[in-house]
Amino acid sequence: MKNIKSKQNKLQVFMLMAAFAIFSFVSCSKDDDPAEDPIATFQYEINEDNPLEVKFMNFSLNAETYFWDFGDENSSTVENPTHEYEVYGTYEVTLTATNADGVSSSFSETIELQDPDEALALIAGETSKTWRLYREGAVLGVGPDKEGARTWWALENDGSRPCVFYHEFTFHRNGDFVFDDKGVFWGEVAIFAGTDVNETCFEAIPSNMFNSDGVDVSAFLGGTHAFEFDSGTNMITLNGNGAWMGMPQLGTTGESIVPVDTKSFKIESIEQHEGYDLMIIAYSYADLYWDFTYAHYHDPSLEPDVVDEQDEDPPLETITPTELGHTFESDDSFDYLGAIMGASIINTGADDPEDADATNVGEFIRTDAQYQEAILRVYPDPKNILFDNFTTVSVDVYLPSSNDYDPLTEKVIIGFGNMHDDGGNWWQNLIQHESDELALDEWVTVTFELDSPTYSGEEDGQTVYDRDNLDMVFIQIGGTDHTSEGVFYIRNLIFE
């Protein structure tokens, strides 16, 4: 019996050891699995009441420990720390997140802490500070974004709009914002289209201040309003009906041809120079970026004079091509019309919406500008075009049903104008052809007879054959005077 018990004991011991080995193997296998790689990231919030205090919010993944370098020789291992800096300035903050295996990931962000009083002093001085449009170089304009600022259109002190260079905008430390129109105003087309003052400098009196809808917009004229400055975001908010800076129609989220009670814009930068300061402000919308450069002169003798009359540019060369157009398959798939610009964007080389394997086409992006079109001019240097060798112009268009066609229209316009001589007024003397409503979700070829325009600006019934100064072709999809966005496709703009 003793031997049998011994064997039984040995068997039991063996089975226990085997079970323990299996358990140990499984346990060790799980423990030996590598931890997922950490991803370090964070956001921060500056205390409005104490601009030196910053709350850091940790959004790291797969980490167990954290190390913060606040950029001022201080650090922390707290997961979500709040740190108070001693002095205002710019700091690079780095978060290092480490997982259970000791693998680390780092993420850095530069933060700028401004003394609100010092920042306000740059804008409003000790008591007040007056700003006027800078009078050197391109001082305002529009583009698709900050990186492309003023690429679509820009204004210089060249005599084309002299009145806007006299306007004064004064910020007072007590919160007052004063606009002095100096007795003159510019008839911005977005507001005054179709009126007697459109695209001209005119006397700044209430009787002249009626917009294209006949609405009184005299609140845009000089007056005293209020402003607020947020040093954390560099945003200025103007409060008071009709208060504006930049252009009257620009607002916080878009354009308005009537005065509004409040609007905000961002101060992109303030630079201090010897004898003067420069301030750039910006209105940023989806696919649209307006910015303006203003100057304050401590030494008035340094301020250039306003150019009151515009010098005429030398005349353009004239061509009579036998081939003209653009397929939009690529940037260089064109005959002469290779310079593409305008508030509407054409991206060449896009996939065909019906067949991604087909020849590439143009993606036509309508932005939220009040008036817009895609413009094509002779590349690389603009030229006047005589259309004597052509009788028609056609283009293939694809209108996706995914767009909102209220108020977008299901129509296409091809037109012609003179940008060289008319400058900002080219649309007042244009010739255009407008289609009927088109089918959606399919390619449609639109063809126009060049001798039968639907509209002529200079003279009723005038055609391209009656003009020798047409230096641009424009395409408009979705209608004219509204800010609705849309995406369309085009190919094969052909003159025959």
Greater model confidence, 355 or 28: 355
- The predicted model scores a pTM of 0.53
Average pLDDT over residues 68-85: 97
Distance of CA 206 to the CA centre of its chain: 33
Give, for 487, the enclosing helix (H) or strand (E).
strand 486-495
**Residue 386 vs residue 23, higher pLDDT:** 386
pLDDT, average across residues 209-218 = 97
Q: Is the pLDDT assigned to residue 24 strictly greater than 50? A: no
DSSP 24-73: HHHHHHHHTSPPPPPB--EEEEE-SS-TTEEEEEE--BS-SEEEEE-SSS
Please tell me the predicted confidence (pLDDT) of residue 14: 44
Read off the pLDDT of each residue in 214-242 and give the average, rounded to a whole number: 96
pLDDT, the chain, mean: 91
pLDDT of residue 481: 66
| Res 19: pLDDT | 46
Beta-bridge partners for 39: 61
Tokens 């323990």 -> residue: 20
pLDDT tens digits for range 305-319:
999 987 666 889 999
Q: Give residue for tokens 């369309």.
A: 488
SS3 assignment for 276-337? EEEEEEEEEECCEEEEEEEEEECCHHHCCCCCCCCCCCCCCCEECCCCCEECCCCCCCEECC
Name the residue type at position 221.
Answer: L
Q: What is the rounded distance in angstroms from the CA atom of residue 415 to the CA atom of residue 371?
A: 14
Whether residue 422 is predicted with pLDDT greater than 70 in this model: the reply is no
Query: In the structure, what pLDDT confidence band is assigned to residue 371 with cuts at 50, 70 and 90?
Result: confident
Going from the C-alpha of 404 to that of each of 478, 485, 486, the distances in angstroms are: 10, 8, 7
pLDDT of residue 147 exceeding 70, the answer is: yes
Look at residue 9 and tell me whether its pLDDT is greater than 80: no
Q: Tokens 């005054």 correspond to what residue? A: 192
Q: What is the pLDDT of residues 77-94, one digit of tens each?
A: 999 999 999 988 899 999
Q: What pLDDT, on the 0 to 100 scale, is given for residue 403?
A: 95
pLDDT band at residue 30 under the 50/70/90 scheme: very low
* Lowest mean pLDDT, pick from 9-18, 163-172, 247-256, 404-413: 9-18
Determine the Cα–Cα distance for residues 248 and 101; give it in Å rounded to an integer. Answer: 59
Joined together, the tokens standing for residue 192 give 């005054």
| CA pair distance 490, 481, nearest whole angstrom | 21
pLDDT at residue 29 is higher than 50: no
Return the higher-pLDDT residue of 152 and 155.
155
> What integer pLDDT is reported at residue 376 of this predicted model?
97
C-alpha 143/C-alpha 152 separation (Å) is 5
Identity of the highest mean pLDDT range in 108-122, 157-171, 412-426? 157-171
Q: What is the distance between the alpha carbons of residues 95 and 137, in angstroms, rounded to a whole number?
A: 42
Percentage with pLDDT > 70 across the chain: 92
Asked if 285 contacts 146 with a C-beta cutoff of 8 angstroms, the reply is: no
In the block, tokens 């001798």 appear at 451
The secondary structure of residue 373, as a DSSP letter, is -
Q: What is the pLDDT of residue 88?
A: 85
Rounded Cα distance between 490 and 396, Å, is: 6
Indicate whether 11 pLDDT > 80: no
